[in-house]
Structure formats: C-alpha cells, structure tokens
Amino acid sequence: MNVAKVLLVSPCRFTEQLEDSLRRVGCEVLCAENGLRFISRLEVEDPDVVIMDARPAWCDPHVLCRTVSSSSPSKPVFVLAREESEHAALDGIESAQVFRMPRQMGQLVRRVRQYSRSL
C-alpha cells in the first residue's frame, strides 16, 4: 500500500492531534514551521498532500494555496477551520477542501488515506 507524504503547515491549533492520527494510519508527516521551510519542503520533499490551518501563524492562507497551486496544480490542499467565519474567509480558494475541526478530524484522516490509495 502506498503511503501519503503529508506536509503539515504548523503551528496550527490541531498539530499534535493531527500528526498522531496521520501517523497511526501510516502517513509520513512533514512539518513546515515557517515560509522558508514550507518552500523547501514543497520543492524538495514533494509532499502528496498539504494540510494547513485556516489562520496560519506566519502567512495568508490564500498565498499558501497559490504557492501550492503554482508548483503542482493537482496537489490537494486541506484547510482546517474551526468557525464558520474562517470557512467563509477561504471563499475563492478553489484548490482547497475545508474541514471543520475538531469535528471532522476523522473525515480528514479518511480523505488523506483515500488519496494515498490512489498514488
């Protein structure tokens, strides 16, 4: 079975719990704590999936999604939102799929696993 390489843009509000859940299902989890690490991981490690918080501590989510889209248009981006206002602020990011956290944590992990099976 193929294993998804997941780039987790951190810190995010759910980093520790999400890392544990993804590793339990066999994913390789890479973290990007800042913009330089994000670009490096994206280009060098070539992750299969990018997961980020709706409010990353160090960048605008629209900029991050555009960066991913320009480097690899088919790479899925999953965004973690806690409130409806965060979800609404992500309108216009066509390449991102939003998961309401923590309620949809299991659904997110299943989606990553489904993606890893298609690799």
User: Per residue in 25-83, pLDDT tens?
Assistant: 999 999 998 888 888 999 899 999 999 888 777 777 777 777 888 878 788 888 888 77
CATH class of 5-117: alpha beta
User: Per residue in 6-32, pLDDT tens?
Assistant: 999 877 777 888 999 999 999 999 999
Which residue ranges make up each domain of the chain?
Answer: 5-117
**pTM value?**
0.84
- Say which amino acid occupies 30: L
State the burial class of residue 56 (Cβ atoms within 10 Å of its Cβ: 0-12, 13-18, 19+).
Answer: buried
Binning pLDDT at 50, 70 and 90, where does residue 96 land?
A: confident
Indicate whether 119 pLDDT > 70: no
For helices 15-24 and 105-117, angle between their N-to-C axes, nearest 10 degrees: 40
